[in-house]
Amino acid sequence: MRSITLKGLSKSINGGQIIPGLNLNIPAGKFFALLGPSGCGKTTLLRLIAGLEKADEGQIFLGDEDITELPIHERPVNVVFQNYALFPHLDVFDNVAYSLKLNKTPKKEIKEKVCKILQAFHLESHIYKFTSQLSGGQQQRVALARAIINEPDVLLLDEPLAALDFKLREKMLIELIELQDKLKTTFVYVTHDQFEALTVADQMAIMNTKGQIEQIGTPKEIYEFPHSSFVAKFVGTTNILSGKLRQIDTDPEIEVADLGKFKLSIPLKKQWMKEGCDILISLRPEKIFISKKEVPNFSNKLMGTVQSIVYHGRSTQYNVVLRNGLKLQVFEQNEEHFPQQVIDYDNEVYLYWQKENVVLLEK
Amino acid sequence: MKLKFLPKQRSSEFPFTFGAPAIIWQILFFYFPLLIIVVTSFINISELGEIEGVTLKKIALFLSPTYMKVILSSMLLGVSNAVICLLVAYPLAYFMAIRGKKHKNLLLFLLIIPFWTNFLLHVYAWFFVLERDGFLNTLLLKIGFIHEPIHFLNSIFSIMVMMVYYYLPFMVLPIYSSLERFDSRLIEASLDLGASWFQTFRRIMLPLTLGGIRAGFFLVYIPSFGEFAIPELMGGDKYMFVGSVVSHYILGDQTGSLGAAFTVVACICLLLSAVGLFFLLNKIILPKRKK
């Protein structure tokens, strides 16, 4: 269990810069998720840490040790590959025992260790099967078992659940969290799926399309307090309104063209926030209250027409068109079997939100 | 019902229709002559050409140590040719399949080019290279590596040079195709798990390309075993191999049936040695499984 520190790391492939001088600290013993859109360079970053790629510039530290020049097979870092990369000519036992056999561990010890780990992963009845005879979830577990059996300091997971169906993925996510909790190994989980990242991470980093880190924080911080419109839009669903900042010192408001003014709260004033400057606000769909009747005690109110309704099961999504043609998404929890008011297509509705639930972003 | 019926009809009859010419060809020009050879080697023919009954004498004649030595040296020639070809071909195939992906068509083309010129021309070209005042001797003298020209021709060395030169593509192509299908991410996985390059090669690449190695090995071993022209041309008349013995009897006066008998003996030895080599290759390359 050691931390990873990247200092000024950069990498170009075929002349195109993938990683542009990146600084990042991945804390020891934490479940760290690296979230970014496809092709943003997160897999390259992971390959750099693993030693599968050589950095053009910069350093990689494992704890205090500089491992930038350490060859791949000497790094105490293991990878769970996206396609698992299990050895097709070896059975489950030999796949898992692979790293142990390399360093001449006594046979008895290998057998004990492998059997123990296979039991923990519910694979004990498949020991002598070839990996092609296993289901996707079982292959995934073999890949995990193979990667952790030698107790690496850091486990890198490259979209490990991408090939699994939704139910299985949810189950594996929980297993991963429990595994990390037990091992206390530093896990670095790379994914483009925000649901997975939010689920597993203690800490997460958002990478933009240029390979830069946009924000680091706990899943809650990232989701509730995004620092940029990229993060706000990429993590979860949100409504972005654009307008001008007014009355910054007394009673802050955003003035949106054709819609009017809406109250804001500015808990921490930043440098760029100036009277009259262009700003964006991010308003999460679940933070909006939708109603056919007027309700008191909300700081902001809007009116619109329901254009479409998507039923998700636990919630319902309303797409509401505003006066200026802008569309807002609103989520409503389906709390009751027989709700008091039924909102239907083309209904005129009121949208309410509290000013504290809005995030102010630089344009 | 119709839908179920149609594909069945196609799958059972069409392949036979298309395969028939090849099958008939094979029967007429391979299995039938082979049968004649086997029969000839077991029957006694009088000087007048009449069949006088069955005999094992001819077969027994070739089980003597003299002929066994010839067969053994042919095996040795075949195995050493196959092993040298393997050692040379594997890195070449690796380079073509994994490193040289962009130019693989060009590389394959370059590999095939020698087949465009006549075999005898290759032999003469090698004469010029290997003779007393040939290219190789001149070169070695010039750089001061040797002080007297070396006698390269008519030796095992010149035979092996020509054999490897000629058979190399037969080894490269199957290995190339198995390496091309090889998932190079497995190399990364192995290195990541702490294996050195050598361990990765030994434990992952070799076993997973065994199909190509095996195909190449036998594509080289089997024809080398019976190779006639190369030892004859490059080795002078110093060395006796299966090919030269067979040609001696088949072309000789009244000794055709002896040639047939020797062919049968040699073929059985070849078959047995091939089976043995098959298991030996598996044993060397595949990981041990004892459970």
Comparing CB atoms, the residue among A83, A89, A146 nearest residue B185 is A83
Residue B237 lies in a domain: yes
Residue B40 lies in a domain: no
**Enclosing domain of residue B134:** 73-241+261-285
What's the number of CA atoms in the CB half-sphere (13 Å) around residue B143?
6
Whether residue B191 and residue A72 make contact (CB cut-off 8 A), yes or no, is yes
Read off the CATH number of the domain in which B178 is found: 1.10.3720.10
Chain A residue with Cα closest to B189: A85
Mean per-residue pLDDT over chain B, rounded: 89
Whether residue B204 and residue A87 make contact (CB cut-off 8 A), yes or no, is yes
Rounded-to-integer distance, Cα B14 and Cα A328, Å: 62
Whether residue B188 and residue A128 make contact (CB cut-off 8 A), yes or no, is no
The whole-number pLDDT of residue B12 equals 60
List of chain A residues with pLDDT < 70: none
Whether residue B185 and residue A79 make contact (CB cut-off 8 A), yes or no, is no
The whole-number pLDDT of residue B114 equals 83
Confidence of residue B256 (pLDDT cuts 50, 70, 90): confident
Whether residue A85 and residue B188 make contact (CB cut-off 8 A), yes or no, is yes
The whole-number pLDDT of residue B10 equals 54
Residue B21 lies in a domain: no
Residue B34 lies in a domain: no
Residue B148 lies in a domain: yes
- A-B CB pairs within 8 A amount to 62
ipTM of the prediction greater than 0.95, yes or no: no
| B130 pLDDT higher than 80 | yes
- Copy the structure tokens of residue A350: 């009121």
The whole-number pLDDT of residue B172 equals 95
Query: How many domains does one find in chain B?
Result: 1
| B7 pLDDT higher than 60 | no
Task: Please compute the mean of the pLDDT values over residues B173-191 and round it to a whole number.
Answer: 94
Phi (first) and psi of residue B62, to 5 degrees: -90, 0
Report the side by side order of strands in the sheet with A57-62.
A16-26, A4-13, A57-62, A65-66
Residue B48 lies in a domain: no
Task: Please compute the mean of the pLDDT values over residues B20-28 and round it to a whole number.
Answer: 93
Confidence of residue B145 (pLDDT cuts 50, 70, 90): confident
Residue B44 lies in a domain: no
The whole-number pLDDT of residue A361 equals 92
| B6 pLDDT higher than 80 | no
| B21 pLDDT higher than 70 | yes
Whether residue B192 and residue A52 make contact (CB cut-off 8 A), yes or no, is yes
Confidence of residue B2 (pLDDT cuts 50, 70, 90): very low
Confidence of residue B13 (pLDDT cuts 50, 70, 90): low
* B48 interface with A at CB cutoff 8 Å: no
Comparing CB atoms, the residue among B193, B199, B207 nearest residue A78 is B193
The whole-number pLDDT of residue B11 equals 56
Residue B62 lies in a domain: no
Task: Please compute the mean of the pLDDT values over residues B33-42 and round it to a whole number.
Answer: 92
